[in-house]
Structure 1
Amino acid sequence: MKRFLKIVVSIWPFALVAGILMGLFVLRPINDFVAFYEHEVQADSATHYVMSELAGGLQGKKPAKSAFYAVAGGIIGLFSAIFYIGINDRNRRIKRLTAELAKDVEALIAQGESQDVEFKSSLRWDFKENRINKSLEAPVLKTLAGFLNASGGTLLIGVDDNCSIVGLEKDYQTLRKKNRDGFEQVIIAAVATKLGGDIAPFVQVVFHCVSTQEICRIIASPAPRPVYLDIDGSPRFFLRSGATTRDLNVREGIEWITTRWPK
C-alpha cells in the first residue's frame, strides 16, 4: 500500500494538470456543443458558439463555469492515474507469475533448492512420526515470509530434500476438504492469519501432477511491505539467503528493511 501511495504522490501533479486541461478544453467544449442544440442558442453555428465560449473562458469570463470544469477534470485525472497504477501493478504481477509458471516444474525439482526454490515434504503430515503435526505449517510460512521479504520465490510441497516426490495424499487426509481446494484454502488462510491479509494476494497456489503424484507449487512475489511471522507471540523477520531462510536479528532486520523498502 505504501508503494502504491508513493507512486500516486509522484505522478499526481501531472495527472492533475492533465485532468484540468481535459476539463477546460474537452469537457467544457463538449458541454457547450450540446447546449447549443438543446437550448437553441443564438449563434452563427455550434462551432462558433463553442469557440467563443472557450475564448471567453480563457479571458476570465464565467469563472465559476471554468472552475467547475477544471475541478471536474482534475478529479477525473487523479482517479484515472490511480486506476492506471492499479492496472499496471496488476499486469506486472501477472507477468511475473506467467514467467514463473513457464518454468518446468520437473526441471525446478531436478535443479534442487536455491535462492528462489525450496522443497517441503508436507504441510501437516509428519513422515518421520507418521502422524498429523500441524506445527509443520510454521516452516512453510517461514519460507514464504523469507521469499516475500526478498525477491520472491517458489515453494514446492510434496517434494523432500532429496528431490524425491512424496506427493500430497497424506496431507489431503489431514484436511476437512480432502482435495486441492481444501489444501489451497488452508494455505491461504494461514498466510492471511499469520503473515497478513494484505499479503495473501502476493501468494499464488498451483498444483502439478508429477510421476502420478500431486505436488503443490506456491509462488511468492516480493511483498510491498516487511512481512513478519508471529511465533509464540513474537513477530519474527525472515529473509531468504542462498538456499536457506534466515531469522534476522533486530539490527539486520532494520538494515534490510531500510534498503528493501526505502521511505
Structure 2
Amino acid sequence: MNRQGLLIAIVLGFAVGIIIIQPLGISLFQYDQSGDTGNWWYLFKNAVGQALGFGDVDQILKNILFGIMGSSLALMFYTRKTIFQLNREKVGITLIRELLDKGENHEVEFKSTLRWDLRQGKVNKALEMVVAKTIAGFMNTEGGHLIIGVDDEGRILGLEQDYGTLKKPGKDGFEQYIMQLVSFNLGTHFCPLAKVTFYQFEEKDICYVRVYKSQKPVYLNLGDRSHFFIRTGNGTRELDMPEALDYMETHLN
C-alpha cells in the first residue's frame, strides 16, 4: 500500500470532515428543527464559518471529532480498492497454481519465453509467432489459458530475459508487446479477447493471458497468406482450407 497516498487520503478526509461533513450535518439538523422552513444555504454557510473559526474549545473538539470521521471514511474508501485488488490477486494466484499443477492440455499452454531463445541466447522472432499461433488456436476453439515464463513442466522461469529485449522493459512493455503481436498478426479487433495479467511466484514474474473464444474465424498472417489454427489436445494444429471451412461451419458463427 502506498504510504504517501494513504497519508494524503487521511489529511484530505480530515479536512472534508471539518468543512463539509460537519456543516452539512449541523445545517440539516437546524433546518429540520425549524420545521423545514427558512434558508438552508444560509445555515450551511454559517456552519462552515463556525467550523473554520476555531472560536472555542467546544468547536475545536467538534472539529477533531468530525475530522476523524472524515479521515475514517477516506481511509475506508482508499483501502477498499486495495483490498479488492489483493483479493483478486489471491484468486488469480490460486488459479495459476491449479493450472500449473494440472499441466498443459487443450485449454492450457506453457511458454518459457515470449521472444528470448534460451538455447541460442538471443531474440528469436519465430518464438513470437508460436505465441501468436497459440492465441489464435485458443480463439478458434474454446478459449484457453496461456502462461509465459514457465517451462513445459510448469517450473517457474520468470520474464527477466524477455524484459531485457524490450524497448520498454517491465510489465507494461511486455503487455504492450503482446497486444501489438495480436494486433499486427491476428487483427486489432481481436485484442479484447486477450486479457493480460502478471503474477509473481518465487520472486519471479510470470505472464498470464486469458484468451476468450472468438465468434469469428481468426487467421494468423504469415508472409503472403493467412493460416487457420485450432487447439487439439495439448497442441495447436493448422487446418488446410477444406478442414478450416468445415470447422468454421460447425464451430463458429
Which of the numbers 132, 144, 161 marks the counterpart of 1:141? 132
Q: How far, CA to CA, are the matches of 2:92 and 2:237 in structure 1? A: 26
Residue correspondence of structure 1 range 57-206 to structure 2 within 5 A: 101=92, 104-206=95-197
Q: Which runs of 5+ in 2 are unaligned?
A: 1-88
In structure 1, how many angstroms separate the alpha carbons of the residues matched to 2:197 and 2:93? 12
CA distance in 2, matches of 1:233, 1:164: 37
Q: What is the identity percentage for the equivalent residue pairs of Structure 1 and Structure 2?
A: 41
Runs of 4+ in 1 over 4 A off after TM superposition: 100-103
For 1:103 and 1:233, how far apart are their aligned partners in 2?
A: 42
Matched-pair contact (CA < 8 Å) for 1:106–1:210? no
Correspondence for 2:205:
214
Equivalenced residue count is: 165
Cα pair 2:198 2:207 within 8 Å, conserved: yes
How far did 1:195 drift?
A: 0.4
Using the size of structure 2 for normalisation, the TM-score is: 0.63
| Per-residue deviation, 1:134 | 2.1
Q: Tell me, which stretches of 5 or more residues in structure 1 are unaligned?
A: 1-97
Displacement after TM superposition at 1:102 (Å): 7.9
Q: Could you say what secondary structure the match of 1:140 adopts?
A: helix
- The root-mean-square deviation of aligned C-alpha atoms, in Å, is 1.8
1:256 is matched by which residue type in structure 2?
Answer: Y
| Equivalent residue runs for 1:33-52 within 5 Å | none
TM-score of the superposed pair, with normalisation by structure 1:
0.60
